[in-house]
Chain A
Amino acid sequence: MAAGFRIMRQRFSWTVSKNKMQRSAETAGPAASETLVKIRDLHFARGDRVIFDGVDLDIPRGRLTAIMGPSGTGKTTLLRLIGGQLTPDRGSIEVDGLPVQELGRKALYELRRRMGMLFQSGALLTDLNVFDNVAFPLREHTDLPEAMIRDLVLMKLQAVGLRGARDLQPSELSGGMARRVALARAIALDPMMIMYDEPFTGQDPISMGALVQLIRLLNDALGLTSIIVSHDVQETAAISDYVYVISQGKVIGQGTPEALGKTDSALVKQFMQGLPDGPVPFHYPARDYMEDLLNA
């Protein structure tokens, strides 16, 4: 794994240095750099349940942006909206200057080729082995000769440290390995951005550490723009450049991880520090406890 990183570092050294230069030239905050994803006044409801109630987001190019929030705040929904799989009730979403919801099918698919998405479950195709899974987008979208596809796939697999696992079936992979294979697949077409849906959920510490490192490294080495949706505060905050906290359909806090750590907002504080009680109450709404007990 470490060797893999080293090789990748060498290969993409020019990108890294360019990226570093960029970063040193810029100060923190999304306003300073070019915006890749721009969300304005987003409203979205599922049935009667309002999921987004006027959300504004800017995802800066070349950065690692985290979107955090308690379970059920529609973080996955947000990624699907960005990917154009869902349509908002109101508001606009622009990716690389293109209004996602107004694109025709062809243009949307064109845009999606430049996006990678890592699903929570990995979403590997169960009837294909690891190699074919990574080769899948290449075979679907390019007419490259098989020898070149093989080289590309092995490069991507090497990047995630699973070149040796190429002949395994998805069912033989552990959760962390499956996610790394999915990551290799997501970068197969060299996208401009990757969206991670809860990449750390249910991982043991080792594969969690591997993933955390990998996500940061890929972002910098490939010059990607990354969006991480997660409620694993510590891990996510550790690698992200900028954090949005969403709760009850609104952005309740944003800033660099350090800035958010010192926030005054009680809600953000409760979430970032994982306090059991606070603005989000420990108890489900109920009658008064004593009253409930006595009125048996």
Chain B
Amino acid sequence: MKQSKTTELMVGMLIAAGLAALFVLAMKVSNLSSYSAKSSYTVIARFENVGGLKVRSPVMAGGVLVGRVAGIDYDSDRYEAVVTMEMDQSYDRFPDDTVASIYTAGLLGEQYVALDPGGSEDFLVDGSEIEFTASALVLEKLVGKFLLNSAESGNQ
């Protein structure tokens, strides 16, 4: 039952290599590095329509990732979607009149929440609600509106 040192060494190397590979997959390949376990604070925003927004969609300000969508619920009393966002603690100076809009990255890309800071002196804190929101654009509605407009202009 003698166990050679090389056997133990090789097994140790296998385990180390496997864990290192998992680490690479987590840090370098996936998006873990971009949101990892930094401390965060939560804000919510209500939208009429969130379109294709998903949990873990990015929250951007000026094109920079500042947080992620943590949850999407529907408020049956107010008939609105409630989006919970986890914001990176290092970006904690958003004015409380910030506008949250849902945009699409690129023509067919995924949707994200964009924050446009307002001018208030008070900042959003954990549990705050963003009051000014702009819903996602729904393609069918846009096309419908466009057709209506062109029909109206054609009538004139």
Contacts and interface: CB of A to CB of B under 8 A. Distances in A.
Contacts of A139: 1
Nearest to B2: A132
A128 B3 CA distance: 11
B31 to A, nearest CB: 46
A135 B2 CA distance: 12
Interface of A: 128, 132, 135, 139
B28 to A, nearest CB: 40
Contacts of B2: 132
The main secondary structure of chain A at its interface with chain B is helix
Contacts of B1: 128, 132, 135, 139
B96 to A, nearest CB: 70
A200 B1 CA distance: 30
The main secondary structure of chain B at its interface with chain A is loop
B130 to A, nearest CB: 66
B55 to A, nearest CB: 51
Contacts of A135: 1
Nearest to A133: B1
Contacts of A128: 1
Nearest to B1: A132
A270 B2 CA distance: 52
B1 to A, nearest CB: 5
A185 to B, nearest CB: 14
A128 B2 CA distance: 9
Nearest to A128: B1
Interface in B7-61: none
- The 5 A-B pairs with the shortest beta carbon distances in the complex, nearest first, are A132-B1, A128-B1, A139-B1, A135-B1, A132-B2
A128 B1 CA distance: 7
A132 B2 CA distance: 8
A123 to B, nearest CB: 18
A139 B2 CA distance: 13
5 contacts: A128-B1, A132-B1, A132-B2, A135-B1, A139-B1
B139 to A, nearest CB: 66
A132 B3 CA distance: 12
A147 to B, nearest CB: 15
A169 to B, nearest CB: 12
A225 to B, nearest CB: 30
Contacts of A132: 1-2
B63 to A, nearest CB: 61
A69 to B, nearest CB: 39
Interface string B61-94: 0000000000000000000000000000000000
